[in-house]
Amino acid sequence: MNTDAFTPDNDAAFSPGELLERLAEQVDALNRPGAIELALESVSSGRIGVADLYTQVLGPLLGRIGSRWQHGTERVWQEHFASHVVRTIIEALYPIVVREASLAPRNGQTVLLVCPPREEHELGARMLSDRFELAGWNAVFLGADTPLAEIVAAARAVRANLVALSVSTVYERVELRSFIDTLRDALPKTRIAIGGPAFAHDPGAWPAEELLDAAHLGLPGAPPGA
Amino acid sequence: MNTDAFTPDNDAAFSPGELLERLAEQVDALNRPGAIELALESVSSGRIGVADLYTQVLGPLLGRIGSRWQHGTERVWQEHFASHVVRTIIEALYPIVVREASLAPRNGQTVLLVCPPREEHELGARMLSDRFELAGWNAVFLGADTPLAEIVAAARAVRANLVALSVSTVYERVELRSFIDTLRDALPKTRIAIGGPAFAHDPGAWPAEELLDAAHLGLPGAPPGA
Amino acid sequence: MNTDAFTPDNDAAFSPGELLERLAEQVDALNRPGAIELALESVSSGRIGVADLYTQVLGPLLGRIGSRWQHGTERVWQEHFASHVVRTIIEALYPIVVREASLAPRNGQTVLLVCPPREEHELGARMLSDRFELAGWNAVFLGADTPLAEIVAAARAVRANLVALSVSTVYERVELRSFIDTLRDALPKTRIAIGGPAFAHDPGAWPAEELLDAAHLGLPGAPPGA
Amino acid sequence: MNTDAFTPDNDAAFSPGELLERLAEQVDALNRPGAIELALESVSSGRIGVADLYTQVLGPLLGRIGSRWQHGTERVWQEHFASHVVRTIIEALYPIVVREASLAPRNGQTVLLVCPPREEHELGARMLSDRFELAGWNAVFLGADTPLAEIVAAARAVRANLVALSVSTVYERVELRSFIDTLRDALPKTRIAIGGPAFAHDPGAWPAEELLDAAHLGLPGAPPGA
């Protein structure tokens, strides 16, 4: 553990892009406490908000980790390490999310956040959960690899107004189509919205009304590169 | 989100067992912010240390969640929900772990914390990671479902002195035996220690020198029920 | 490859129990061609019918393989080897199944044979498929690890009268309950029946009308030990 | 079940390409017995040998099934159905493989055929196993999803001269590299060769001496399109 990491240069004002690069450097150097301290300090010092950290820094950082792994420039164990650093950052921000969310008017709506079966990449859904809470929703996060029948049972139990599915790369669209259709049949009165990397870059011909539209839902967080 | 959860009764002095029961109640009521606030406040107010919270409260709580799921009194989605609440508590404590760890003398040793392939229950290893950091180790956490060859590559890259494997219920012992033997052949100079629920209650005839002995390693945290 | 295996003792009349023991010996000796020849020859010589081979010999043999693996007296690779020997026997009998099935009157009914998600043990369902064909059904076998939405889509596409789910040990009953309930909602006019090792020995309080009753369906094959 | 399938037009002399098209038609029509009968009859009538059926017909057919699924023109359940038809064909040919193999001189060598962890596509390895037997090898087939430590244990137990790994698309090359390296360390005297779709079309910069070279090994079966 590099204790230098705990005395970041407080004078520096990072752009989100610079913060992303500096975080990536710490992760590449396997400096877990350093990376986490850098991110948390950026939020607690007011340099960046939680939602913007998610959309402009951590989301793109996760995309880069996944891409480097896919292109063979990063090993599986490095991807595990890096993902866990990002996860700790996200979870360690939760007390701040709760505090900020308690100041926002609640809208009385409940969103269920899930990844479908075999989808193990849940950090996108986890960040989305916090953004929903910040926007006044009650967010119920179930995470990775949730069976269809369990999504149905949970949506009924918590009286979800919206089921937000986060899908990375594991699903072919024809399979996702039949998944969504079955979910819709089982939950005819619940809105269903799909987000995640599989759709962010290329929604293709997917029906627009099924795509999760963060801006339209009023979720905080500027899009990457904004 | 129940904002009452954010004003816990500060006068109450909980025993670990009482804290466990109160946390379980919040989780059963699907009160995620309430459960997390209760746990974090218990640590920040000094009522319980991080390591004891892990060994005496969160470890047993995870055991109870798994057991209720196995006995059919809890649904899969409820188990997902509950595990994620516990995860947020653990990760949100990390800034405290870093702060306390920075006060402890570093021992110059590195431990690699992993779960073998197919083992998805990683929170035990995650808590162990923090306890190693608190005891002065450099802890490298790779988490769930790490392929054997990746454990070998990571152990070499970080020059691990110890590989700590956490195993829940997915492994039959004959398979674990051959897994450990192959790991040992590949890393002849690295100590390998096995922990996790699969061994905590019944080490059976497993060689004692391969079992992770937290007390002998000097890790903080009293055993459950102590 | 031991070519002695191809000249079995044709004089011997094995009981199903003896055939099971002799097959198990060949499998233990890693004699794949010997085991397969012994089984096929037993059927082609008329000593045992396909359906009885399934219910009285291969089913119990698979149970024994699984049990030895669970009790740690067999390694994973031995279980892989043994299962594949049994699989070859079953599949190599298919031309005989087709021939015999073509002599039986067709009943105009279609059964879909599937294992739910994560259930990898499909040989029970595979044998059941042949027994349905022998009884005059049109059997559509999809096998292991079939997603819920795909079961629904397939059942509609082939106009299944019956969906037969085979479940080994991977499912807790509370999860299976919600799986079946969702399937039922999606396919209100289709019968659903559950079979497999998870229920053969202990149906517990599971509703009898949901259990696959081979005798009542008129499937050939005497129960084990009969 | 369409019994017309059992009276194929014996006069027709199919090229492998034509046989592939006719098989694909039967599979698309969900005519399982028809597809199987067509393939088996083509071999038993001497129109095509087992090894050529594998390399020129069934291998390309599996490639087409996988490709249609990936491109979203085929549903998951259709891919399950189609793969199982191909599997039955392969396994039902085993008695012929054994008979032909018993005529070939045995070379005293043992090959272990496996797919690494998470690789579920095992039919390529299964066909390879038969081609090794036809070439005089003792072939030990363990199939899909075999843990690294189990491959090591099995290779030692059967004194394998060669471990043939079949890899489809699940592995990134950097992960496969570390997998092979660890296997090599554990089995320094055993040859290791990699085959399967992941390498057939694009070996990239992978070391040629690690690629499975069927021609060089003397395995029967003309390459696709030959």
Return the residue in B65, B69, B174 with the most chain C beta carbons within 10 A, the one to mutate for interface testing. B174
Determine the average pLDDT of the residues in D65-90: 91
B25 has a chain D CB within 8 A of its CB: no
**Per-residue CA distances from D56 to C85, C88, C146, D6, D224 (Å):** 25, 22, 29, 23, 4
Q: Can you give the pLDDT at residue A202?
A: 77
Determine the angle formed by the axes of helices C76-92 and D148-157, rounding to 10 degrees: 80
Cβ pair C88:D91 closer than 8 A? yes
- CA–CA distance, B166 with B184 (Å, rounded to integer): 16
**Per-residue CA distances from C84 to A176, C80, D55, D122, D149 (Å):** 32, 6, 21, 11, 19
Determine the average pLDDT of the residues in B153-162: 97
Q: Can you give the pLDDT at residue B226?
A: 67
With pLDDT > 90 as the criterion, what percentage of chain C qualifies? Answer: 77
User: Which amino acid is located at C172 in the chain?
Assistant: E
pLDDT over 90 at C87, yes or no = yes
pLDDT over 70 at A198, yes or no = yes
The phi and psi torsions of C96 (rounded to 5 degrees) equal -70, -40
A120 has a chain C CB within 8 A of its CB: no
**Closest chain C residue by Cα to residue B171:** C70
pLDDT over 50 at C3, yes or no = no
Q: Can you give the pLDDT at residue A199?
A: 76
Least confident of A95-104, B68-77, D184-193: B68-77
Contact, C5 vs D102, CB < 8 A? no
Cβ pair A72:D174 closer than 8 A? yes
Cβ pair D1:C133 closer than 8 A? yes
Q: Can you give the pLDDT at residue B14?
A: 77
- CA–CA distance, A129 with D88 (Å, rounded to integer): 46
Name which residue leads in pLDDT, A225 or A124.
Answer: A124
* Chain D environment of B183 (Cβ under 8 Å): 149
Count Cβ atoms below 10 Å from residue A219 Cβ, excluding itself. 20
Distance between D114 CA and the closest CA of chain B, angstroms: 16
Distance between D182 CA and the closest CA of chain B, angstroms: 6
Cβ pair A72:D178 closer than 8 A? no
User: Exposed, middle or buried by CB within 10 Å (0-12, 13-18, 19+), for B73?
Assistant: exposed
pLDDT over 90 at D151, yes or no = yes
pLDDT over 90 at A155, yes or no = yes
- CA–CA distance, D88 with C123 (Å, rounded to integer): 12
- CA–CA distance, C173 with C66 (Å, rounded to integer): 20
Of the pLDDT bands very low, low, confident and very high (cuts 50, 70, 90), residue D226 is: low
Determine the angle formed by the axes of helices B76-92 and B59-70, rounding to 10 degrees: 170
- CA–CA distance, D163 with D190 (Å, rounded to integer): 7
Q: Give the closest of C150, C153, C181 to A149, CB-based.
A: C181
ipTM of the complex: 0.92
Distance between C159 CA and the closest CA of chain A, angstroms: 17
Please report all neighbours of C, defined by 3+ CB atom pairs within 8 A: A, B, D
Please report all neighbours of B, defined by 3+ CB atom pairs within 8 A: A, C, D
Q: Give the closest of A75, A173, A175 to D178, CB-based.
A: A75
Window D:151-210, CB contacts with B under 8 Å: 152-153, 175, 178-179, 181-183, 185-186
Q: Can you give the pLDDT at residue C187?
A: 96
DSSP state for residue C107 in the 8-state scheme: -
Of the pLDDT bands very low, low, confident and very high (cuts 50, 70, 90), residue B46 is: very high
Q: Give the closest of C75, C88, C146 to D80, CB-based.
A: C146
Contact, D34 vs D2, CB < 8 A? yes
Distance between B187 CA and the closest CA of chain C, angstroms: 23
Cβ pair C172:B72 closer than 8 A? yes
DSSP state for residue D124 in the 8-state scheme: H
Cβ pair A174:D76 closer than 8 A? yes
Give whichever of A63-72, A200-209, C112-121 has the largest mean pLDDT.
C112-121
Q: Can you give the pLDDT at residue D13?
A: 66
**Closest chain D residue by Cα to residue A77:** D175
Cβ pair D172:A73 closer than 8 A? no
What's the pTM?
A: 0.89
Q: What is the mean pLDDT of chain A?
A: 91
Relative to beta strand B110-114, strand B162-166 is parallel
Cβ pair D179:B149 closer than 8 A? yes
The phi and psi torsions of D7 (rounded to 5 degrees) equal -125, 65
Q: Can you give the pLDDT at residue C8?
A: 46
Cβ pair D84:C141 closer than 8 A? yes
Q: What is the mean pLDDT of chain C?
A: 91
Contact, A192 vs A165, CB < 8 A? yes
Q: List beta partners, residue A141.
A: A113
pLDDT over 70 at B159, yes or no = yes
Determine the average pLDDT of the residues in B199-226: 87
| H/E stretch holding A163 | strand A162-166
Relative to beta strand B138-143, strand B162-166 is unpaired
A119 has a chain B CB within 8 A of its CB: no
Cβ pair A153:B75 closer than 8 A? yes
C6 has a chain D CB within 8 A of its CB: yes
- CA–CA distance, A69 with A67 (Å, rounded to integer): 5
Q: Can you give the pLDDT at residue D8?
A: 46
Cβ pair A80:B1 closer than 8 A? no
Determine the average pLDDT of the residues in D5-15: 56
Q: Give the closest of A78, A88, A140 to B91, CB-based.
A: A88
* Chain A environment of C150 (Cβ under 8 Å): 175, 178
Q: Give the closest of D72, D173, D174 to A172, CB-based.
A: D72
Least confident of A53-57, A72-76, A99-103, D83-87: A72-76
Q: Is C12 left (phi over 0), alpha (psi -120 to 50) or beta?
A: beta
Of the pLDDT bands very low, low, confident and very high (cuts 50, 70, 90), residue C4 is: very low
Least confident of A109-113, B198-202, D125-129: B198-202
Of the pLDDT bands very low, low, confident and very high (cuts 50, 70, 90), residue B13 is: low
D26 has a chain C CB within 8 A of its CB: no
Cβ pair D143:C92 closer than 8 A? no
Determine the average pLDDT of the residues in A104-125: 95
Count Cβ atoms below 10 Å from residue C10 Cβ, excluding itself. 9
- CA–CA distance, D192 with A25 (Å, rounded to integer): 37
DSSP state for residue A209 in the 8-state scheme: G
Return the residue in B165, B182, B185, B194 with the most chain D beta carbons within 10 A, the one to mutate for interface testing. B182
Determine the average pLDDT of the residues in A64-69: 88
Of the pLDDT bands very low, low, confident and very high (cuts 50, 70, 90), residue D34 is: very high
Q: Can you give the pLDDT at residue B72?
A: 76
The two tokens of residue B10 are: 């500060």
pLDDT over 90 at C138, yes or no = yes
Relative to beta strand C162-166, strand C138-143 is unpaired
* Chain D environment of A73 (Cβ under 8 Å): 174
pLDDT over 60 at D126, yes or no = yes
pLDDT over 50 at B22, yes or no = yes
pLDDT tens digits, C38-62: 999 999 999 999 999 999 999 999 9
Cβ pair B185:D181 closer than 8 A? no
C147 has a chain D CB within 8 A of its CB: yes
pLDDT over 80 at C14, yes or no = no
Of the pLDDT bands very low, low, confident and very high (cuts 50, 70, 90), residue B3 is: very low
Place of tokens 């879909």: C112
Q: Can you give the pLDDT at residue D146?
A: 96
* Chain D environment of A76 (Cβ under 8 Å): 172, 174-175, 178
- CA–CA distance, B185 with B181 (Å, rounded to integer): 6
**Per-residue CA distances from B1 to A127, A131, B35, C172, C178 (Å):** 17, 14, 11, 31, 27
Give whichever of A160-169, B12-21, D200-209 has the largest mean pLDDT.
A160-169
* Chain C environment of D101 (Cβ under 8 Å): 1
The phi and psi torsions of C140 (rounded to 5 degrees) equal -115, 110
Least confident of A40-44, A195-199, B106-110: A195-199
Interface C:D, Cβ pairs < 8 A: 108
Candidates D1, D5, D14; CA nearest to D34 is D5
Q: Can you give the pLDDT at residue B5?
A: 41
Determine the angle formed by the axes of helices A148-157 and A173-186, rounding to 10 degrees: 40
Q: Can you give the pLDDT at residue C13?
A: 66
Q: What is the mean pLDDT of chain D?
A: 91
Distance between D170 CA and the closest CA of chain B, angstroms: 13
Determine the angle formed by the axes of helices B148-157 and D148-157, rounding to 10 degrees: 110
Angle (CA) A103 A107 A108, round 5°: 120
pLDDT tens digits, B102-149: 999 999 999 999 999 999 999 999 999 999 999 999 999 999 999 999
